[in-house]
Amino acid sequence: MDMKKIGVVFILGSIFLSLANLTFTGAVVGSGHSVGYWSLVAIVSFVVGVFLLVSGSRLETIVGGFRVSDSKVVSKEKIFRTFEKNFPYAAPAVVLDTSFLISYSNNRREMVDYLKSHTDVIVPEEVINEFNDTDQKFIKDYLRKETKRPDESYKKYIDHAWEVLNTGKKATFYDILIGEEDMPPEGSEIRKEYALAINDLKTFIIKDGKSVNEESIRKKAKKHWPVSDADVAVLAVTMDYEAKGKRSMIMEKDSDFKEALKYMQRNDNVQGISCFDAYGKVYSE
């Protein structure tokens, strides 16, 4: 149900009703009572249309019973201020994830230029290859020219990075969805989180203007939930920095890397890796 499209229909209907009450000479047609009635209908239709147009996305989530995250990607200026506050002197090397680059697609150049003025900006080839070769080729060319590729030694950590990321919630949720893992017990925390994650997928599907069904949910989940080669490469690069005694920071939008970092801090005694998300939060311990 696309509330915004319905809103447009209401607005167009109000215009039609208004025009229908006028003759080509501007004289009013019909009795005063009928004109007043249809004028009122036109006004109400216009107001409802504007309301649906402005609040369409929010209403879709209410009507459909779906959850939308309250978190918003912060401005580039907020990112800059937070970066300077947390790293007033020597900043760690920055490894950019695909989700972060997409979040700032309108400010990508300013973001990269700013980070480059403070530290090394690393973008693995696996991340660059997530952009297509047609309308996004200019992005690939820009990233290859303006950012650095990691040392080849990061590839030693690919397998471990994959293992760590597959301990995350989204990877677990995908295994549950496709039947690789059993559905968690009713009332358990993981079951509640899984239900919320499914509702998020439904919200994204609705915003895409598509019908919510089992097939569309599986298709959307397959796109967003499994561990990607790009994610593995990003984490492997930070593992390589850690092994060399150097600090690094992943800039991301999703929570996958924060979960991975917590896992590595518990199990691998990692100390030199941090995460900075598109919501302006820095996580390091």
- Per-residue pLDDT of 112-165, as tens digits, reads 999 999 999 999 999 999 998 887 899 999 999 999 999 999 999 999 999 999
Phi, psi of 283, rounded to the nearest 5 degrees = -125, 125
What single letter denotes the amino acid at residue 2?
D
Mean pLDDT over the full length of the chain: 83
In the block, tokens 């229908």 appear at 20
Q: Which is more confident, 208 or 112?
A: 112
CA 161 vs CA 35, 101, 129, 131, 269: distances in Å: 71, 21, 19, 22, 15
90 pLDDT higher than 60: yes
pLDDT at 64: 37
Residue 39's nearest CA partner among 23, 16, 10 is: 16
Q: For the ranges 11-25, 84-98, 128-142, 267-281, which has the lowest average pLDDT?
A: 11-25
Amino acid 63: pLDDT: 37
Please check the confidence at residue 1 and state whether its pLDDT lies above 70.
no
Mean pLDDT of 165-178: 90
pLDDT at 5 > cutoff 50: yes
Residue 214 to residues 65, 201, 218, Cα–Cα distance (Å)? 17, 11, 6
Rounded to 5 degrees, φ, ψ at 250 are -90, 130
pLDDT at 96: 96
**Cβ burial, residue 52 (10 Å; 0-12/13-18/19+):** buried
From 183-187, 237-241, 259-263, the region with the lowest mean pLDDT: 183-187
| Among 203, 267, 186, CA closest to 60 | 203
The mean per-residue pLDDT over the stretch 48-74 comes to 52
Q: What are the distances in angstroms from CA 77 to CA 74, 82, 93, 265?
A: 8, 9, 20, 30
Q: Hey, what amino acid is at 206?
A: I
Percent of the chain with pLDDT over 90: 47
Q: What is the second-level CATH architecture of the domain 76-166+227-283?
A: 3-Layer(aba) Sandwich (3.40)
Looking at the predicted structure, is the pLDDT value of residue 57 above 60? no
Domains of the chain, residue spans: 3-64, 76-166+227-283, 169-224
pTM over 0.75: no
User: Would you say residue 70 has pLDDT above 70?
Assistant: no
| Per-residue model confidence as pLDDT tens digits over 215-236 | 999 998 888 888 999 999 999 9
